[in-house]
Amino acid sequence: MMKNNPVDGVIVVNKPKGVTSFDVVAKVRRAVGQKKVGHAGTLDPNVDGVLVVALGKATKLIDELQSRPKRYIGEITLGFATETEDLDGTVIAEQPIKTPFSDEAIDQAIQALNGEIEQVPPMFSAVKVAGKRLYEYARAGETVTRPVRAATIYDFHRTSPITFNQAQQTFQFEATVSKGTYIRTLAADTGKQLGVPATMTSLTRTMGSGMDLSQAVDLAQIMAMDREAVLTHVVPVKTILTWPVKALTDDEWFAVKNGQKITSWPANDAYLQLTYQGELKAVYAYDTADQHWQSRYVFTNE
């Protein structure tokens, strides 16, 4: 890998189906020519759409980027279920729909899953139980008790007419959800509300970490560009962050670059972006228990 000046920021990639999120990171790493690259929120290989890839110092912000809401569009089919809750798995249940559910019944089932809910993650997922991923148990034919996880469904609604074909019903949806939500499970739970098996039959992420498809670059385009062209699509760290900005005095900068806690600033439940001579240096967070500001992210001490 060539030695280049390090790049800090994010690239919003439109991930195609058929590649893993790790594949995308590896390709961006080669395109930019630096090792420090990560992503904010895995997309399954059969899911396309927004994958936010962090470069350099922006990798420090991956936990923050992952905490932001995500939006998806997709399709749910009622009448069968798979072991993976999507089309990648073997069919494990079928129930022909003889009398189609009304629009109202399906919309009520969807509405019941809006708000604060609990989900049981699919066996074919990366959630760890006793040090092993659930998919490892599933592949070994073992069953374990899966943890119940909280999720917030900000908005889940149907976006198309409902079709009825070969004893199955299918419709399109849009869902804006919190970190950790399994859309596959949301599809399966929609079926449970109606008393029939259901499967997520397609999925696209249209927004992640506050960035949407209109900002995304196709992975194929990135691979066809030279490095300088790729860098024109990098979103700077200061553009990613939305917290209040505080310009530091000389004395404050001395304290911040030495990692000191600060008690003289007014209390606030938000983070503060700290700049010195126009450059973003760090982010501080307020500790309400100890009543002081302390370092949350450090970008540079120089």
What residues act catalytically?
44
Identify whether the C-beta of residue 184 lies closer than 8 Å to the C-beta of residue 86. yes
Total number of residues shown for the chain: 302
C-alpha span between 283 and 216 (Å, rounded): 26
Location of structure tokens 């970190």: 179
C-alpha span between 158 and 25 (Å, rounded): 33
Comparing CA positions, the residue from 259, 298, 287 lying closest to residue 58 is 298
C-alpha span between 5 and 299 (Å, rounded): 16
**Which residues lie below 8 Å from residue 143, measured CB to CB, with a gap of 6+?**
123, 137
Location of structure tokens 């089309």: 87
C-alpha span between 163 and 5 (Å, rounded): 54
Residue 218 host element (H or E): strand 217-218
3-state helix, strand and coil shares in percent for the chain, rounded to the nearest 5 = 25, 35, 40
- Strand-strand pairing, 48-55 and 198-208: parallel
Provide the token pair at 297: 């992210």
The number of beta carbons lying within 10 Å of the beta carbon of residue 250 is 8
